Chains A and B, each alone.
Chain A
Amino acid sequence: RKEVEQDPGPFNVPEGATVAFNCTYSNSASQSFFWYRQDCRKEPKLLMSVYSSGNEDGRFTAQLNRASQYISLLIRDSKLSDSATYLCVVNGGGQNFVFGPGTRLSVLP
């Protein structure tokens, strides 16, 4: 089993739709969790850290379920500019950052 797994997609959704991504991880000792977005031919950019209590930033909501070892990202009212690859990153402690394969999102007009 891979350490961090994501559905690669692509998810093709119309503008204004709500879309949700899940990410599962295998290391139960993982300490911190992140969502990054990466545009084509650009570097990953931090979208959100994911906290145990869940957190929201505008149209984006991230949740963590430690018991089931998954994190989720919900995007409401999708914009064309949300089209990107969303990378789930899990930190197993210290400098041990493990990337998921990424989920591609295309928001269509």
Chain B
Amino acid sequence: DTEVTQTPKHLVMGMTNKKSLKCEQHMGHRAMYWYKQKAKKPPELMFVYSYEKLSINESVPSRFSPECPNSSLLNLHLHALQPEDSALYLCASSQILAGIQETQYFGPGTRLLVL
């Protein structure tokens, strides 16, 4: 099973709203990622969690706040977003095993529209 799930599938929010995106995997992967993808562009890395600790933050504005409550779950809390934050938000996971090639698996994404 190589499934990563994300909720919600679609989200429309105003610039003063607070919302959260959720991601879940049960593959035993210990690295989890948030990406942002705009139309006709490749995914752009936002955050990486390794063993539930934030290991990479690609200078993302503080209106995006990640959280990793346990090894299966990853959240992205959104507050005071701007219209230019509208995009597809992708979650991914990969295993961390010495000597084993890591492969990323992506969830279906949350399509976010900020009005």
Mark out the residues of chain A between 63 and 109 whose CB falls within 8 Å of any chain B CB in the assembled complex. 87, 89, 91, 94-95, 97, 99-102
Q: Is the CB of A44 within 8 A of B106?
A: yes
Which of B94, B96, B104, B111 has the most chain A CB atoms closer than 10 A to its own CB?
B104
Pick the most buried of A41, A45, A91, A94: most chain B CB atoms within 10 A of its CB. A94
* Cβ of A57 under 8 Å from chain B: no
Residues of B within 8 A of A44 (CB): 43, 90, 106
Q: Residues of A within 8 Å of B, CB-based: how many?
A: 20
Q: How many A-B residue pairs have CB under 8 A?
A: 50
A55 at the interface (CB under 8 A from B): no
Q: Who on chain B is nearest to A33 by CB?
A: B101
Decide if A89 touches B102 in the complex (CB within 8 Å).
no
**Which secondary structure dominates chain B's binding surface?**
strand
Given the contacts A43-B90, A102-B42, A95 and B107 also touching, CB distance less than 8 Å:
no
Give the B interface residue count (CB, 8 A).
24
> In the complex, A34 Cα to B94 Cα: how many Å?
13
Residue A22 is within 8 A (CB to CB) of chain B in the complex:
no
Q: Which of A46, A49, A95, A97 has the most CB of B within 10 A?
A: A95
Q: Which of A42, A87, A91 contacts B102 (CB 8 A)?
A: A91
Instruction: Indicate which residue in B42, B48, B50 contacts A87 across the interface (CB closer than 8 Å).
Output: B42
Tell me which residues across on chain A come within 8 A of B104, comparing CB atoms.
34, 46, 89, 97
Least Cβ–Cβ distance between A88 and chain B, in angstroms? 9
Chain B interface (Cβ < 8 Å from any Cβ of A): 31, 33, 41-43, 45, 48, 50, 55-56, 88, 90, 94, 96, 101-109, 111
